[in-house]
């Protein structure tokens, strides 16, 4: 969605109050009910529905009435909330042209009160070009439910934290100024993306500088994971600046070596194609400085020592677990004690082994006694079971005899009842000849 800040100057306090109410309601609602928005906003003179209609006209909200009547924020409404907060803080006073578009963000120029130009990055996760965020990024961690606005906020927070930490360790990154929601404000890099550069005065020096940044990041415990010509800026003096940090992971990540090798491969492939560098010649010239590298001059991930620090621990980078933190604490606190107390540890280990052997012998003896007792008890149980089975067989025979007798008596009784009932019905005559003859006999006897 295109960012049009002209509408921003015409929005009132009630408009931003209703936008904030929708944002608060989206913490536990995908579509915020209209009644809830009215209760959260608490406008003095009412008119929440009128404000919602105005915001819907400017596409700051989306209306949904499939299940119930409600609204949700759009990316444009989220942009307005972040820009309004930045303006109130005095970070900048104006928004300029768009200078970059990516699969996860848009970048704009902003102007401060003193005239300095900064860069504003608005994260926009959920575009059609990149929707596999849950599998490709670790913003969610343990969370199961999410929306794109919340994921964009997490990505901006993570990028701001990485930018601040890398700047303190003298890495060539933009200066982080401020962040709010899904917006990050940083210094504007005066340069060009490396992918747009066709010629370099010293391509070998630039190549070595870029490769050194990858190795130095690994020494600090981090891997960029997207270190290619699109995320490297270069100025007229061939000074390098790296950008785009939300996807960085720790060297303790399970796929750390794959990510590291992929970053190195991207650099080698680009310089080989664009500037026709032959890396074998540079290796022959610098044989003394190629320790920890392959035959092609590629740095080996397994031979990089983390001697510069633990930035992945400080920033909780992806792949750095609690176990790694405990191991580091043991390494830092108990490094010298481990050497002095090695003899005592050996003695304690031997004592533990002896006690474990004694316990095993006791368990074996107990197991033998228990097996004998179990065998005796099983034999007695078998005898009792046979006696019980014989008694049950006798009882079953008696029951069958009594049931057969009762069955015979019942059958005989039913047969007797049928005979008597049939004889009673046989003498009944419903207006036949026999009944007519009996009537004549009675009349004659009366005469």
User: Over the stretch 326-337, which tens digit does the pLDDT of each residue have?
Assistant: 554 454 455 434
State both tokens at 430.
Answer: 């419903």
End-to-end Cα separation, the chain, in angstroms: 125
State both tokens at 296.
Answer: 């092609």
318 DSSP assignment: B
Q: Pick the range with the lowest mean pLDDT from 114-128, 159-173, 324-338.
A: 324-338
List % helix, strand, coil for the chain (3-state, nearest 5).
Answer: 55, 15, 30
Full set of structural domains in the chain with CATH: 1-89 (1.10.10.10)
Q: Pick the range with the lowest mean pLDDT from 245-259, 347-361, 383-397.
A: 347-361
For residue 319, is pLDDT > 70?
no
Q: Pick the range with the lowest mean pLDDT from 69-78, 113-122, 234-243, 289-298.
A: 289-298
Cα–Cα distance measured from residue 295 to residue 161, given in angstroms and rounded to the nearest whole number: 37
Q: Are 309 and 221 in contact (CB under 8 A)?
A: yes
Is 226 considered catalytic here? yes
Our measurement of the distance from residue 303's CA atom to the centroid of its chain's CA atoms, rounded to an integer in Å, reads 32
Cα–Cα distance measured from residue 328 to residue 101, given in angstroms and rounded to the nearest whole number: 40
For residue 148, is pLDDT > 90?
no
For residue 155, is pLDDT > 80?
yes
Please say whether the dihedral angle defined by the alpha carbons of residues 218, 220, 226 and 232, taken in this order, is positive or negative.
Answer: negative
Q: Pick the range with the lowest mean pLDDT from 42-46, 192-196, 230-234, 394-398.
A: 394-398
Q: pLDDT tens, 5-50?
A: 888 989 999 999 999 999 999 988 999 999 999 999 999 888 899 9
Q: Are 185 and 177 in contact (CB under 8 A)?
A: yes
Band the pLDDT of 382: cuts 50, 70, 90: low
Cα–Cα distance measured from residue 358 to residue 223, given in angstroms and rounded to the nearest whole number: 51
Cα–Cα distance measured from residue 252 to residue 396, given in angstroms and rounded to the nearest whole number: 73
What's the average model confidence in pLDDT over 178-199? 93
Q: CB-based burial of residue 339 (10 Å sphere; 0-12 exposed, 13-18 middle, 19+ buried)?
A: exposed
Q: Which residues contact 253 (CB under 8 A, 6 or more apart)?
A: 223, 259, 317, 318, 319, 320
For residue 351, is pLDDT > 60?
no
Give the pLDDT confidence score for residue 130 in this predicted structure.
47
What's the average model confidence in pLDDT over 164-185? 93
Q: Pick the range with the lowest mean pLDDT from 27-41, 122-136, 259-273, 351-365.
A: 351-365
For residue 210, is pLDDT > 70?
yes
Give the pLDDT confidence score for residue 126 in this predicted structure.
77
Band the pLDDT of 343: cuts 50, 70, 90: very low
Cα–Cα distance measured from residue 306 to residue 215, given in angstroms and rounded to the nearest whole number: 10
In terms of pLDDT, which residue wins out, 45 or 293?
45
Edge to edge, the sheet with strand 61-64 lists 32-33, 70-73, 61-64
Give the pLDDT confidence score for residue 301 in this predicted structure.
86
Residue with tokens 């059958």: 411
Please say whether the dihedral angle defined by the alpha carbons of residues 149, 155, 159 and 160, taken in this order, is positive or negative.
Answer: positive
For residue 312, is pLDDT > 80?
no
For residue 435, is pLDDT > 90?
no
Which of 220-224, 321-325, 422-426, 439-443 ranks highest by mean pLDDT? 220-224
For residue 439, is pLDDT > 80?
no
Residue among 23, 42, 43, 41 at smallest CA distance from 32: 23
Give the pLDDT confidence score for residue 298 in this predicted structure.
83
Give the pLDDT confidence score for residue 194 in this predicted structure.
93
Q: Pick the range with the lowest mean pLDDT from 72-76, 249-253, 330-334, 433-437.
A: 330-334
State both tokens at 426.
Answer: 């046989």
Q: Are 41 and 48 in contact (CB under 8 A)?
A: yes
Model confidence, pTM:
0.65
The catalytic position among 15, 38, 106, 226 is 226
Task: Count CA within 13 A, CB hemisphere, residue 25.
Answer: 23
Q: What is the DSSP string of 91-114?
A: S-SEEEEEEEE-SSEEEEEEE-TT
């Amino acid at each position: 969605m295109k960012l049009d800040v002209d509408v921003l100057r015409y929005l009132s306090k009630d408009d931003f109050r209703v936008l904030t109410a929708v944002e608060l309601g989206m913490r536990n609602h995908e579509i915020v009910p209209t009644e809830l928005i009215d209760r959260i906003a608490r406008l003095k003179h009412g008119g929440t529905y009128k404000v919602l209609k105005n915001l819907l006209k400017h596409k700051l909200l989306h209306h949904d009435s499939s299940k119930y009547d409600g609204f949700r924020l759009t990316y444009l409404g989220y942009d307005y909330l972040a820009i309004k907060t930045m303006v109130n803080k005095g970070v900048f006073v104006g928004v300029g042209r768009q200078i970059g578009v990516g699969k996860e963000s848009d970048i704009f120029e902003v102007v401060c009160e003193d005239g300095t130009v900064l860069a504003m990055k608005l994260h926009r996760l959920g575009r059609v070009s990149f929707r596999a965020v849950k599998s490709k990024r670790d913003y969610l961690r343990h969370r199961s439910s999410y929306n794109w606005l919340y994921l964009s906020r997490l990505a901006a927070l993570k990028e701001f934290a990485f930018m601040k930490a890398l700047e303190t360790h003298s890495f060539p990154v933009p200066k982080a100024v401020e962040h709010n929601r899904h917006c990050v404000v940083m210094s504007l890099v005066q340069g060009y993306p490396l992918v747009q550069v066709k010629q370099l005065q010293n391509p070998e020096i630039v190549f070595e500088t870029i490769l050194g940044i990858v190795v130095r990041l690994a020494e600090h415990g981090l891997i960029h994971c997207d270190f290619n010509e699109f995320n490297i800026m270069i100025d007229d003096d061939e000074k390098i600046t790296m950008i785009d940090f939300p996807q960085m992971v720790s060297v303790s990540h399970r796929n750390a070596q794959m990510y590291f090798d992929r970053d190195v491969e991207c650099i080698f492939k680009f310089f080989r194609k664009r500037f026709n560098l032959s890396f074998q010649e540079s290796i022959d010239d610098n044989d003394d400085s190629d320790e920890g590298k392959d035959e092609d001059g590629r740095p080996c991930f397994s031979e990089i020592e983390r001697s510069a620090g633990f930035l992945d621990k400080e920033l909780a980078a992806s792949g750095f677990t609690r176990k790694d933190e405990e191991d580091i604490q043991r390494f830092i606190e108990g490094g010298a004690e481990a050497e002095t107390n090695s003899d005592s540890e050996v003695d304690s280990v031997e004592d533990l082994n002896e006690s474990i052997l004694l316990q095993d012998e006791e368990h074996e003896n107990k197991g033998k006694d228990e097996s004998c007792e179990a065998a005796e008890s099983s034999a007695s149980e078998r005898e009792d079971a046979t006696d019980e089975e014989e008694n049950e067989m006798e009882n079953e025979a008696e029951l069958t005899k009594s049931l057969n007798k009762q069955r015979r008596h019942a059958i005989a009784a039913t047969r007797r009842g049928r005979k008597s009932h049939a004889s009673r019905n046989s003498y009944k005559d419903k207006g036949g000849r026999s009944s007519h003859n009996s009537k004549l006999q009675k009349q004659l006897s009366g005469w």
